[in-house]
Structure 1
Amino acid sequence: MRKTNTPNNEALSGKRRSTFVAFFQSPLIWMLVGAIGIILANVAFNLLTKDLKAPGSVILTLVGCAVAIVIYWLVMKYLARRPVPELLFQRRAISEVIVGAVVGLIFIIVSTALIVLFNGYSFKWANENIGSIVWPIIITQLGGAFIEELIFRGLAFQAIEKMGGSLLALTLTSLFFGVAHLGNPGATAWGALSIAIEAGVLLGAAFLWRRNVWFIIGLHFFWNAIEGLLGIPVSGHTSPGLFTVEVTGPALLTGGKFGLEASIIPVIISLLIAIPMLIFARRKGHLLSLRQDPK
């Protein structure tokens, strides 16, 4: 006998579908799904690039970044069921990367120059093969900037923002970002707090101001890449740079073994940059209240 759908069966089926859709539209769920997907893709591409040399490793890193962007877009489009204006493909994306890179460059150069001025750092040219230093730094920091920003400012920030507004998102993602660095070499409670302020607040404010991921990726990448090229530990991680750095000042000035991020100088400078960004974001109407979606 042929079975027909009754109105009750159709209503039950529709209810199940709506419950399934609502589950994945929950901000916490699509945040976790997206983060797991991006992390797994990053691990896979890191294994693939492990034994490759430049320029092949650079190309594969770029492919890995593109895959992470696609995963992010799919999660936002089909799980979160929301538009993805923060992915500005076309010309504006390039300009946003450039502007972000300039901000990151200025931030690190000014911070480093002030530490040198106060006799905290002294630099000496390392006389190493430039290519053998530059390419590994670019590969490491490019992948790190994409993955961290897509997860923290892309997924986590916007998920929390949807549930509790922009200021809550800025506060929690900044704290999470600091805590996430506690496992790094040379990390201390102060180092984690400084990361939360100078990186979490600055990058969060930058996202609120520009409302796109390209600006913060450019800022993050140039920030870390310039540190690495100068030979300064990047959040505790050391690698050969173009210079050798002699640290002569107190840890509060130099950051000690954790590197520049644990110095009081960039903490102060980051706030001087972040506060105007937040003011501009408010004037643009980019600060969202509780459960208010961005336009």
Structure 2
Amino acid sequence: MRKTNTPVNEAFRRGNQPAFVSFFRFHLVWMLAGALGILLANVTFSLLSEDLTALGSALLTIAGSAVAVVIYWLAMKFLARRSVPELPLQRRAVPEFILGAVVGLLFIIVSTALIVLFGGYSFKWSTGNASSVVLPVIATSLGAAFVEELIFRGLAFQAIEKMGGSFLALTLTSLFFGIAHLGNPGATVWGGLSIAIEAGVLLGAAFLWRRNVWFIIGLHFFWNTIEGLLGIPVSGHPSSGLFTVEVTGPALLTGGKFGLEASIIPVIISLLIAIPMLFFASRKGHFLSLRQDPKGE
């Protein structure tokens, strides 16, 4: 009688996986492993860019963002052992990034305009060198958008979603995102709550609607970039923008030292944007119930 060996891939299909493979396929494990890899890459590239020129720092940020994408893809493919339809590297990447950027641009411009209208902000053009302002703002915003979205909406959202469904993922990642910003300069409990709503809920809803990481990276990137260029503190971090900002209204309107994101205006506007996104996500069947696999897996 001829003895036959079961191929490795057949063994995997039958569930005869080595213990270490099963361990890394556990949702929280691949989430934490991927997040740790992205954070380490971010810290490394940040240290390397400390003594560089503005252009050199921007180029290194782009390289670091590309490495973060690779780490995310590797974590999903070889640890989670799932497809990565949310991170298309061709065709849809640029259009989705641009669409997200438009949403982020409109969100900040409308929020700022309303605060100005109600007497909260006034702007004066800065006499500084524009080139020395634009590149650092872009570099900082780009790095934050890639790192935070790959970790929170890419890894954490989808890991929690696989365990408890979309609503649980949206709720927990929003709360975690708000808590993560409580250590920022000028942060308050209200500031953390406002971030949880306008950033956590809006970006989570955006991901559910598009199921595309490029879209939320574009939204996050332009959100922070426009704030920075206007000279408004970004989540409490001061920005040497193209304008100097005079804050004349109450903290609930202006956000105080934390900046625009602690204003009631963008909180309301973010919900007005997020609710239709959630509606369209539901119409597309993008909401997942408990233990249901995401579309494309």
Letter in 1 for 2:154: G
- State the partner residue of 2:39: 39
- State the partner residue of 1:7: none
1:256 equivalent to 2:256? Answer yes
Cα distance between partner residues in 1 of 2:37 and 2:170: 23
Taking structure 2 as the reference length, the TM-score comes to: 0.93
1:201 equivalent to 2:201? Answer yes
CA apart distance, 1:240: 0.7
Give the unaligned 5+ runs of structure 1.
1-10
Cα distance between partner residues in 1 of 2:100 and 2:232: 21
Cα distance between partner residues in 2 of 1:92 and 1:63: 21
Give the unaligned 5+ runs of structure 2.
1-10
SS of 1:128 mapped into structure 2: coil
Cα distance between partner residues in 2 of 1:125 and 1:230: 9
Cα distance between partner residues in 2 of 1:15 and 1:250: 60
- State the partner residue of 1:94: 94
SS of 2:82 mapped into structure 1: coil
Cα distance between partner residues in 2 of 1:144 and 1:228: 13
- State the partner residue of 2:84: 84
SS of 1:55 mapped into structure 2: helix
Which range moved further: 283-292 or 15-24? Answer: 15-24
- State the partner residue of 2:292: 292
SS of 2:185 mapped into structure 1: coil
SS of 2:109 mapped into structure 1: helix
Letter in 2 for 1:157: F
SS of 2:18 mapped into structure 1: helix
CA apart distance, 1:18: 3.2
How many equivalent residue pairs?
A: 283
CA apart distance, 1:209: 0.3
Q: CA RMSD in A?
A: 1.3
SS of 1:82 mapped into structure 2: coil
Taking structure 1 as the reference length, the TM-score comes to: 0.94
Cα distance between partner residues in 1 of 2:241 and 2:160: 37
Cα distance between partner residues in 2 of 1:58 and 1:154: 23
CA apart distance, 1:210: 0.4
% identical aligned pairs: 79
- State the partner residue of 2:3: none
Letter in 1 for 2:52: L
SS of 2:54 mapped into structure 1: coil
- State the partner residue of 1:8: none
Deviations 1:173-217 (A, max 9, x none): 000000000000000000000000000000000000000100000
Deviations 1:231-281 (A, max 9, x none): 000000002110000000000000000000000000000000000000000
